[in-house]
Structure 1
């Protein structure tokens, strides 16, 4: 790409919760013409998410929490049903992050997780790469009620639901979070559950 990009400049527009940059750059189109372009890019670091599933019970663990951007988009109740997820700390391996997030958010202690995908959910505007994992859970792994951390202003409801109900919730638009849909469909395609 270096032969198609030049004169890249960054202007920080906001550095509140994350960093919003305006990036100005020259881009060479296929017809040989260079154009000066400008885009805004939201940098909040990378993220992890995990589908916890039980083959024995044919269930999955999901979370429900308020999301202001979802509320702001359509003035609904803003509640979002999602897989357990969290932001990766600087220099932290995603696998370490997701094991910690599982304990904090849903109250289960897992020893390991299998990475099944890496993806950008909105590469035109957000730098965040998501690392998607799966792990099987048992009732014996439950060590707390979960719910998130007060220090992070989290208020998370933990949901244990049947796999078939979770798939139905996608079909009726009750689950509309991309990472959750990806992981549930991964489980369906790979026949992890029935």
Structure 2
């Protein structure tokens, strides 16, 4: 299958209350050479970064727990999600963003991060590319309580689990967040922790 050509792109703004939701109408060239008109909605919230904080000597990871309304309205009865630290770039480089998010959300100030991959998280409807990192932490790096930026009403709980417990939590359904599962599985495959 060859890559389709796209032409006559028309963008209609549907909402810009939080981020932007647009309806995009375009012509797409099919494999047989014919053209068809298609229409899609795309949500643009900017790109983001996520990190798995790990301590190899302790065999532990730092995760967060916070309320996520979209999961609540889709059957997660508490709305609470256990996740790796993450945030929207907001004009920062992925590395700058994730270091800032780590300190805001977990209270750890880390200097070194390693980018391990990047991914479109929901390419059928969301424009976001997420940059994935790992980073070592230890108790000497703890400079604050974490919990998130006060002006962002995040109310983040900082959690520390053994790596084995975190992996079990995927199997039990206690961890259901895609970015967290991806980073934990990366750590398992590459013997990070």
1:37 aligns with 2:38: yes
Q: 1:3 to 1:190 in 2, by over 3 A?
A: closer
1:99 aligns with 2:99: yes
Give the structure 2 partner of residue 87 of structure 1.
Answer: 88
Give the structure 2 partner of residue 65 of structure 1.
Answer: 66
Q: 1:25 to 1:2 in 2, by over 3 A?
A: farther
Does the 8 Å contact 2:4/2:28 carry over to 1? Answer: no
3-state SS of 2:73 partner: helix
User: What 5-or-longer segments of structure 1 have no aligned partner?
Assistant: none
Q: 1:3 to 1:49 in 2, by over 3 A?
A: closer
Give the structure 1 partner of residue 166 of structure 2.
Answer: 166
TM superposition shift of 1:89 = 1.1
TM superposition shift of 1:3 = 6.7
1:14 aligns with 2:15: yes
Post-superposition Cα deviations, 1:77-131, rounded to whole Å, max 9, x if no partner, equal 11000000000012x2100000000000000000121000100110000000000
TM score, norm. by length of structure 1: 0.96
Whole-Å Cα distance in 1 between the matches of residues 177 and 157 of structure 2? 16
TM score, norm. by length of structure 2: 0.97
Whole-Å Cα distance in 1 between the matches of residues 84 and 61 of structure 2? 9
TM superposition shift of 1:74 = 1.2
Would you say how many aligned residue pairs link Structure 1 and Structure 2? 192
Does the 8 Å contact 2:62/2:160 carry over to 1? Answer: yes
Post-superposition Cα deviations, 1:161-181, rounded to whole Å, max 9, x if no partner, equal 000000000011111111100
TM superposition shift of 1:16 = 0.8
3-state SS of 2:74 partner: helix
Whole-Å Cα distance in 1 between the matches of residues 126 and 71 of structure 2? 16
CA RMSD of aligned residues (A): 1.2
Q: 1:3 to 1:179 in 2, by over 3 A?
A: closer
TM superposition shift of 1:76 = 1.3
TM superposition shift of 1:2 = 9.2
Whole-Å Cα distance in 2 between the matches of residues 52 and 39 of structure 1? 37
User: What 5-or-longer segments of structure 2 have no aligned partner?
Assistant: none
Give the structure 2 partner of residue 52 of structure 1.
Answer: 53
